[in-house]
Structures are given as structure tokens and as C-alpha cells.
Amino acid sequence: MGNKGNEKIRLEVTWRLPLGAEGKDEALDNPLSRATASLFNRGRPSQRISQCYFRGADAVLRWLGIFVHSQGDRVLFFPGFKAPHEYVVGNSHSKEWNKPFVIDHLSLEPDWDTWHLTSPCSVEHLGKLKTRPLENGCIHWFSASVESSDELRVLRKETVVSTEVSEADVDRRANIFQAMSENAVVQIVELNSQYALNAVPNFLHFSVLVGPPGFESPPSQLLGLPYGGQLASSKPADWDGQAPVRVHRVSLSKCIDLEIIASHHPGELKMPVVFGC
């Protein structure tokens, strides 16, 4: 007869918000489920998490994603796409990619020098992409260009995490999740409301910087635009290289600040989402 304490039971926790559309997001691939998988599936808590939402011109709140400062001192980003992206086309320096690959999250190494794409359950890694050092000790980690806000998952008032855990450890993991939810940072990312872009087609662009607490924003804030690459059209001939931005600062943990720069640009992406560095 087996030890009852080692039996698996189903643990279901719900993150409730006063914001968002009515209803529950119970999908196993919702950003919160993926960002807390390390805790619930392997018993390893994160130092802190930050939920980031995007609110566009239609005023609908959507997931941008969740940032995590892991126990191993990595910074992770779990994108809030409405559906998994199952194929990757692109290149990392001299290596080209054109292969099936489900992106679960982006992983920044503890030295902030390189990052890679990570598949679900960290089964596979792709790339060794270099970050870009900037002024004042911060780095440009990555950028994400998104075809439209429709690519982002609608935020529901209730987000459910459901998983099987060891009965002997269920209380500890539930308590850690409760502490994580109480200490979580929430950020709503928006575009510069004084600027309306009428060009068609157009795309959203988010640049993410990582630095020490209170780092000074760099003077150049349009980073990682995909113009001229194989995944986007060339920049418009009449574009002067400037665009209004909106800057958002997130204190991810005691030793890490994030800066998320949101902007809107004319042009066409050849993929729904393009990551850059």
C-alpha cells in the first residue's frame, strides 16, 4: 500500500481581479498557469512576479504577459498571446531558424548578457541572443512587435490555475501562491494617448529594459524595431525615425527594475509576433 502523503491531488487556485472582462480563464496555457508551473509542478517558488496588461484604443484589457524573477536569478517573461505560437522563423546571429517550436517564455540569464526562448516545461531552449548594454547600468533585453492587439489574450476577472500536486505538499504550495499574489506587481501598459496613428497597416511595439533599482531611462527609447528584416516590411520612406512613446516602470524585485516602452508604428509584419534584440 502506498504512502498517502505521496498521492497526487488536484489543486485549483483562482486569481481574482476587479478589472477585466466577465468570466474565467481556465485554460492550461494561460499566462498565470505557465508562470507558476515551476511552483506547482516542481515545488520551486519564484522571488516575485509582475503581471502586465495592455489597454489599447478599444479600452479592452489584454494580457501583455508576466515577468518573473526566479530563484535562480533569471528574469523570465511569459507572453500573453491568445494562442500558442508553434513555429519559429528567424535568426540568431549566424544561425537561421525555421522549425516547429512552442514559445512558453523568454529567459534572461543572471549575468544579463544573453537570453533564449524556452519551450513548455523548459524541455528545449532556442538561441543564445545578446542583450544590448545601455547607459546607467541597464540593458535592452528584448522587443516584441505585435501585428495587432487581437494577438493578445483578453484578461478575465478570474484566472484559474489547476494542477496535480503531492498531497503532502499542497498546503505549502498554496500558501506560497497566496504570498506571491499578495506581493505581485500589476502594471497596465498603454500607448501615448496624445498620438493617433492612422496608417494602415501598422503594428504595436514593446521594448523591455532591465536595470538596477531606480536606473535612469536612456535617451533613445525606440529599440529593436523590426524594419528591414525578413519578418517585417521596410520602414516608410517618409518616416523620420521618431514616434511618441509611453514609458512604464516596474519594480520587479529588490534588485531589478524593468522599463516597458510602448509605441505604435506604420508598416506590416510578416508574422503575427516578431521578437527582436
pLDDT by residue (tens digit) across 4-43?
456 888 878 888 888 899 999 999 899 999 998 887 776 6
Strand ranges for 173-238 from DSSP E: 185-190, 202-211
| pLDDT digit string, tens, across residues 169-190 | 788 877 877 777 677 789 999 9
Check pLDDT > 70 for residue 87.
no
Global pTM reads 0.90
Helix (H) or strand (E) holding 90: strand 87-92
| pLDDT digit string, tens, across residues 128-183 | 899 999 988 999 999 999 999 999 999 999 999 887 777 887 888 778 777 776 77
- The DSSP 8-state label assigned to residue 149 in this structure reads G
The answer to whether the beta carbons of residues 9 and 171 sit under 8 Å apart is: no
| pLDDT digit string, tens, across residues 241-259 | 778 899 999 999 889 999 9
Phi/psi of residue 88, each to 5°?
Answer: -120, 130
β-strands 202-211, 256-266 pairing: antiparallel
Which residues make beta-bridge pairs with 9? 165
* Mean pLDDT comparison of 75-89, 105-119, 223-237, highest-scoring range: 105-119
Check pLDDT > 70 for residue 72.
yes
C-alpha cell, 54: 495592455
Buried b (16+ CB within 10 A) or exposed e, 32-67: bbbbbbbbbeeeebbbbbbbbbbbbeeebbbbbbbb
Check pLDDT > 70 for residue 93.
no
Q: In angstroms, rounded to a whole number, what is the distance separating the alpha carbons of residues 248 and 260?
A: 5
pLDDT at 94: 47
* Domain assignments of the chain as residue spans, ordered by start: 4-276
